[in-house]
């Protein structure tokens, strides 16, 4: 048996290996940086929304089911007190 029949793959050159590994490593680094930027933005937006907000009592009252103006029109004022 000769060595030429058992070996079917050509030898790998260092330049060929570099052409395969370099794009994979660069792509991984770029992907990690993009994910880190997205996570940072999400955390920052959540923090900002937690600290800043709008106060709108009319919306809160409507959620309760009764608005204060409607309640005032339903309530009758008490009769005036008189001296005997």
Q: Which residues contact 67 (CB under 8 A, 6 or more apart)?
A: 58, 61
> In 10 A of CB 18, how many CB atoms?
10
Q: How far apart are CA 47 and CA 45, in angstroms?
A: 5
The model's pTM is 0.46
Task: Tell me which H or E stretch contains 19.
Answer: helix 14-51
Per residue of the chain (84 residues), give pLDDT as tens.
Answer: 455 556 677 776 777 778 888 999 999 999 999 999 999 999 998 888 766 767 666 655 655 555 555 556 677 778 888 887
Strands (E), 13-77: none
Every domain of the chain and the residues it spans: 14-48
């Amino acid at each position: 048996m000769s060595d030429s029949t058992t070996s079917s793959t050509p030898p790998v050159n260092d330049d060929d290996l570099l052409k395969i590994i370099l794009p994979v490593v660069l792509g991984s680094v770029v992907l990690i940086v993009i994910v880190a930027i997205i996570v940072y933005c999400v955390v920052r937006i959540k923090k900002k929304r937690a600290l800043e907000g709008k106060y709108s009592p009319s919306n809160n009252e409507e959620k309760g089911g009764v608005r204060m103006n409607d309640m005032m029109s339903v309530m009758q004022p008490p009769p005036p007190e008189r001296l005997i």
